[in-house]
Amino acid sequence: MRISFLPVFLLALPLLEIAGFVVVGRQIGALATVGLVLASSIAGAMLLRHQGLGVMMRARAEMDAGRDPSRQLAHGVMIVLAAILLIIPGFISDIFGLLLFLPPVRDLAWRSLKSRVVVATNFSAGGFRGRGRTRTIDLDDGDYSRGDDTTRGPDPNSPWRGLRDE
């Protein structure tokens, strides 16, 4: 029988956060505790903006090069999760959020989760963004019509006729 500790952790987390508020508030005071919570929320938003854009640019570079962007995308998801954990009031969630902002911790998490994650991509070197074999056909108004004129055969001057010959 497999037991999951995630529901137990999610139920215990609010109680642990309240206990953390009490302990920190007793040591540094209530006003300083509220200040720390607000500062961590602002820091989470700023770190999300700064690091999130960098990770997304690296993921885009991986896709442009035709490589698998799954590692960079996973890092992006972990940064969003870290920012959410920092924005949520509480010191325990802030600790986990700060840890997830560290690239070595994200690499460790990715190595442990990558066997469970399937990323389906269809990127090939040079095939992304139309660098492969593409052809644009520019049609005039007379080259195409939706009319029910079935007696008229295909136009021998149509650019579509040349596609079959290739």
pLDDT digits (tens, 9 = 90+) for 39-96: 999 988 888 888 777 777 888 888 888 787 788 888 888 888 998 899 988 899 999 9
Q: Is 137 in contact with 160 (CB distance < 8 Å)?
A: yes
Indicate whether 38 pLDDT > 90: yes
Which candidate, 22, 160, 162, places its Cα nearest to that of 91? 22
Query: What pLDDT is stored for residue 71 in this prediction?
Result: 81
- For tokens 């690091």, name the residue: 51
Query: What pLDDT is stored for residue 127 in this prediction?
Result: 45
Residue-range domain boundaries for the chain: 12-119
Residues 8-27 as b or e (16 or more Cβ within 10 Å = b): eeeeeeeeebeebbeebeee
Measured between alpha carbons, how far is 70 from 108 in angstroms, rounded to an integer? 15
| pTM given for the model | 0.62
